[in-house]
Chains A and B, each alone.
Chain A
């Protein structure tokens, strides 16, 4: 409940305040969001399976975002930033979907 409220609060804050993101970081925002979402879905699944650990969540959250950003940054330097962002989104997307499927099985038993 509290995490859901926190997420809503964060989205509202981001939309209302429109924080100015440095131009150099702008390409990494969507990737950061997808990476963080992956960590969040993993956490929800772990919670449902009763093995949630907040330290693991925070560490995986931060490292996911940083690693995804670094991979895309490296791709940009190598001239394949677009392809690597696609790759990151595909891999994290698959993980998000399978975690969401696991959550669904837990919650609805279907």
Chain B
């Protein structure tokens, strides 16, 4: 049964697998040799003297105890690994839930800020509408609000839609980047629209102010710090015909049109009679303060 190589009868000839003796020994000699030795010893012992009867029972208890210990250690190791896995997934779930909570909280606060802004402008109109001086201030405020993009506006204009190229499996993956709208494309489009006479612009519902930053993080375009997903829908209020022609005929419009032919970028300009743009949040002016009337 056992393939234990005999230690005594080794032939003098060198074994073919001699260089792997360690491996061969490991594979062939798997049973502890001590068992065989003890068995040989015992058979010799049994013939000479009677084996004591109590000692095997004691040893049996030790054997069972050793096996119980093995079981306990196995169970402990298993429960350890399990609790570690639970802790890992629990932590991830906790973080995901926290992100969700915070996002919902931020959305709720955004909605509340918008409601408060509307309430404020309503109250302001009420308070200032009482007399002529107040109405003059209100008119000035409206004008400033338009200029600073803090009041919602509506009017005719154009809708410019920019989108990444449709995923094309035949396209070389290295040129996929070419088919992506970059932050500079969005910046150029916004500037071209301002240049063509736009009076108010929003991107995907985000109103642009003089302080709005448009930049990229990885492949995402950020407007202020909010990441936007393509398609990028720019709504510009202004004379529609002048905006459309000015944009499409300008260098930016031509470049984007060429890119749309070459790389599959999607560009669409549509006139619209009625556009409504939300107001932007009041800018946080930290350093700037108005010049006193006396000095100006």
Contact B71 A6 (CB under 8 A): yes
Can you sample 30 A-B contacts with CB below 8 Å?
A: A6-B65, A7-B68, A8-B71, A10-B68, A13-B72, A14-B73, A18-B76, A18-B83, A33-B70, A33-B73, A33-B74, A36-B69, A36-B73, A42-B32, A42-B35, A45-B30, A46-B31, A49-B2, A49-B35, A53-B34, A53-B42, A54-B56, A54-B60, A56-B38, A60-B32, A61-B66, A95-B30, A98-B30, A102-B30, A105-B1
Q: Which residues of B are in contact with A by a Cβ distance under 8 Å?
A: 1-2, 26-27, 30-32, 34-36, 38-39, 42, 56, 59-60, 62-80, 83
Chain A min CB distance to B78 (Å): 7
With beta carbons under 8 angstroms apart, the residue of A36, A55, A59 that contacts B70 is A36
User: What number of A-B contacts does a CB cutoff of 8 Å give?
Assistant: 140
Asked if A62 CB lies within 8 Å of chain B CBs, one says: yes
Which A residues are CB-close (under 8 A) to B74?
10-11, 14, 33
Assuming the contacts A56-B34, A102-B31, asked whether A14 and B67 have C-beta atoms less than 8 A apart, the reply is: no
Chain B min CB distance to A63 (Å): 10
Complex Cα spacing A29 to B71, Å: 12
Interface bits A1-44 vs B (CB < 8 Å: 1, else 0) = 01100111111111111110100001001101100110110110
Contact A106 B63 (CB under 8 A): no
Q: Identify which of B39, B71, B72 gathers the most chain A CB atoms within 10 Å of its CB.
A: B71
Chain A min CB distance to B117 (Å): 55
Chain A min CB distance to B293 (Å): 71
Nearest B residue (CB) for A10: B71
With beta carbons under 8 angstroms apart, the residue of A13, A17, A26, A53 that contacts B39 is A53
Complex Cα spacing A17 to B56, Å: 31
Contact A46 B35 (CB under 8 A): yes
With beta carbons under 8 angstroms apart, the residue of A19, A59, A98 that contacts B34 is A59
Contact B76 A55 (CB under 8 A): no
Nearest B residue (CB) for A42: B32
Complex Cα spacing A37 to B1, Å: 22
Complex Cα spacing A30 to B77, Å: 6
Contact A42 B79 (CB under 8 A): no
